[in-house]
Amino acid sequence: MQQQYSEFDLEAYLLNDFGDSRNKNAPLMNIFLLDRKYYEKLIAHNRIDHRAAGFLDEYESILRNIKYGDLSHRKEKQRTVIQEYINTKRKEKKESIGRLESHSQ
């Protein structure tokens, strides 16, 4: 089975237009950072993928510390944080598989 984070484009899900009628053209990342009350409502109604919600919860303090200057610079920093998360999850999965394989031998 392929690792779930390679099947789900977390970066696109967080940084592209979320398709929400209330926040037209707003990415989920912006909704999360700028309208937490509404984000919680989306969570309560199961409108947000659990993998994205897990990332946002785990990395909230890092994401909130990204300075809001130039939009392209901010998005690039957000992309970097997302990629670090994905790489960490991939590494954890490989290590877990390695441990299972070594125990089964």
Q: Classify residue 15 by burial, with Cβ atoms within 10 Å: 0-12, 13-18, 19+.
A: middle
User: Could you count the other beta carbons within 10 Å of the beta carbon of residue 61?
Assistant: 7
pLDDT at residue 7, as a whole number: 64
Q: What is the pLDDT of residues 6-59, one digit of tens each?
A: 468 999 999 999 988 888 889 999 999 999 999 999 999 999 999 999 999 999
CA distance 19 to 62: 25
List the chain domain ranges.
4-104
Token pair in block for residue 23: 């926040």
